[in-house]
Amino acid sequence: MTGFKRFIPLLIVLLLGAVFFKSMTDGHNPKEIKSVRIDKPAPVFSLRLLADEKIQATDAILKTGKPVLVNFFASWCAPCRAEHESLMTLAFDKGIPIIGIAYKDDPIKSQRFLDSLGNPFAQVVVDRAGRAGIDWGVTGVPETFLVDGDGIVRYRHWGPIVGDAAIGRVMAAVEDLE
């Protein structure tokens, strides 16, 4: 064995160690499933408004010419409570309109949830059967999508938006559009 060759196994071990260390520490959640919706038009939907069951809202409410966040939430979902404060910040401090989609939730309970914690949503629609959630590729609530002014999905935040770092990531995605 020449001088260099004998160090090859050591190099391999060090390289693998670096790869494992990086994937352990980069904050990546292995359960997170990559969204296939990114850079594709938002799914078509027609759902009743939480505020008025006679009014159907369609995906047209996403095409306002400005970036819009779409947040799937439910009153029965604990992480949604945890992220609520962040949504209030995004809506009122950062001025980003948020469309809420109440996922598999009793509209009365959704309303009570918003009454007690505050309502960060410009509009709330009701996805009682969870079919809109499936169309968006949602695997669990909360999940948040950023839709650009033309109705194209540009970013997906998986799980609750908690903490400044998470808000920062969402804001960075919004700023990327501008």
Partner 1 sequence: MKHLFAFFLLVLAAALPATASDTPLKDPVQEAAARELMKEIRCLVCQNQSIEDSNADLAKDLRDIVREQVALGATPDQVRAYLVDRYGDWVLLKPPVNRLTWFLWGSPFLVLGGVLIAVVSSRKKAAVSEPLTSEEQARLDELLRAAPESDQIKGSEKQ
Output 73 or 167, the one with its CB closest to partner 1: 73
**How far apart (Å, rounded) are the C-alpha atoms in residues 172 and 32?**
20
CB burial of residue 169 (10 Å; 0-12, 13-18, 19+): middle
Dig out the tokens for 119 from the structure.
């309502």
Tell me if 50 sits within 8 A of 129, measured CB to CB: no
Instruction: Tell me how many residues contact partner 1 (CB under 8 A).
Output: 17
Interface with partner 1, residue 129, by CB under 8 A: yes
Q: Using an 8 Å Cβ cutoff, are 140 and 35 in contact?
A: no
The residue range among 47-55, 115-123, 130-138, 145-153 that interacts with partner 1, by the rule CB under 8 A, is 130-138
Instruction: From 118-126, 131-139, 151-159, 166-174, give the range in contact with partner 1 by CB under 8 A.
Output: 131-139
Footprint of partner 1 on 33-72 (CB under 8 A):
33-37
Site for partner 1 in 16-35 (CB under 8 A): 31, 33-35
Q: How far is the CB of 10 from partner 1 (least distance, A)?
A: 22
* Nearer to partner 1 (CB atom), residue 22 or residue 131: 131
Closest separation in Å from C-beta 139 to partner 1: 4
Non-local CB neighbours of 28 within 8 Å, separated by 6+ positions? none
Cα→Cα distances 71→21, 31, 43, 74, 127, Å: 33, 20, 14, 10, 12
Q: Which of residues 84-123 bind partner 1 (CB under 8 A)?
A: 104
Cα–Cα distance, 110 to 141 (Å, whole number): 13
Binding of partner 1 by 5 (CB under 8 A): no
The residue ranges that bind partner 1 (CB under 8 A) are 31, 33-37, 104, 128-131, 134-137, 139-140
